[in-house]
Amino acid sequence: MSAAGFASNMQAKAQEVAKEDYEKAKILISDAAKSGAYLYPFKGIIYFATHRSLWRPFYSRILPTLGLTAGVLASMFFFTYLPQLAVLVFVNGPLAVFTTTLLVLNESSTIVNIISRNFLLQEALVDTFDGTLLARNASDVVSEGRQLKSGRDPIARLGKLIKNPFSKFTPKALVRYIMYLPLNFIPVVGTALFILLQGRSRGSSVHNRYFQLKGWSSSQQQDWHKRHISPYTTFGTIATLLEMIPVVSMLFAFTNTVGAALWAADIEQKKTQTTDGTAPSLRESAKRAE
């Protein structure tokens, strides 16, 4: 084959791959739009703002977490902004000021999330998630994971935990984050892709507590995520962007938890598009019956 023929053949294959990827992207975007998952972070903000009973866990952690956030942000911008800017300016040009700022904010957010979710916020976020489910009349689900008291205040009704809370930040997640960091060397598109990948990782964990309360196995959860990857990626990306905002990132950690719980309550009540498929437990029962 001549060089011209080889080049023509490669160009045709590249166009074919690009067309396939474009069609896949269209399907993913369509699924995300139909699910309405992108709205839940904003629904969480509104619901949290209008339900004062959910504020109690937030208030109990606000001072230590704000101190942690301020310390991490100040340190990261002081020690890492200029060195990273010096590198990114070669590939991003004038946009390096913007992309470096996003990168440092994302790095700071990740550090704060690792520390706060493992040591400061875990119990408070679980209480917020469970309390939101109770406020949405999903007490049957919550009772599978903790003791419940009588009363009308959803937070006051929360008793002793029966099942352990959300999974903690895993080494695998940290390794994945470091692996994706070089994407920021690609002008604009790389930074956007980096945030999207972080959103995908974040989205896969937003319903860990819900799945735990439902008693789903790891394989059931993976199957569910595989069939609803677009909605979870969309939710995770918006949640990630909100939690990158300095000072108020902690507040958005709580409102995103509320949004995830609202989504779980809607899934439980079969109100959203993400329940188009049969729940894993029902499908497995059907397979066994066969």
pLDDT of residue 117: 77
Which of 70-79, 112-121, 149-158 shows the lowest mean pLDDT across its residues?
A: 112-121
Give me the residues paired with residue 161 across strands.
146
> pLDDT digit string (tens) for 196-251?
888 888 888 899 999 999 999 989 999 999 888 889 999 999 998 998 887 788 89
What is d(CA 125, CA 65) in angstroms, rounded to the nearest whole number? 13
pLDDT average, residue stretch 182-188? 74
| Token representation of residue 218 | 């790891």
Question: Torsions phi, psi of 161, nearest 5?
Answer: -70, 135
| Token representation of residue 248 | 């108020």
Amino acid at 243: E
Which of 18-27, 140-149, 218-227, 248-257 shows the lowest mean pLDDT across its residues?
A: 18-27
What is d(CA 254, CA 155) in angstroms, rounded to the nearest whole number? 14
Continuous segment of H or E residues that includes residue 160:
strand 158-161
Res 24 pLDDT > 60: no
CB 144 within 8 A of CB 268: no
Question: Torsions phi, psi of 146, nearest 5?
Answer: -160, 160
pLDDT average, residue stretch 17-37? 58
CB 223 within 8 A of CB 280: yes
pLDDT of residue 106: 82
What is d(CA 283, CA 164) in angstroms, rounded to the nearest whole number? 26
- Computed on alpha carbons and rounded to an integer, the radius of gyration of the chain in Å comes to 22
Give me the half-sphere count of Cα atoms (radius 13 Å) on the Cβ side of residue 169. Answer: 19
Which of 1-15, 137-151, 171-185 shows the lowest mean pLDDT across its residues?
A: 1-15
What is d(CA 13, CA 151) in angstroms, rounded to the nearest whole number? 65
Residue with token string 């109100």 = 271
Residue of 37, 43, 38, 32 whose CA lies nearest to 255:
43
| Other Cβ atoms closer than 10 A to 167 | 13
Average pLDDT of the residues of the chain: 81
22 three-class SS: helix
CB 153 within 8 A of CB 111: no
- Percent of the chain having pLDDT more than 90? 38
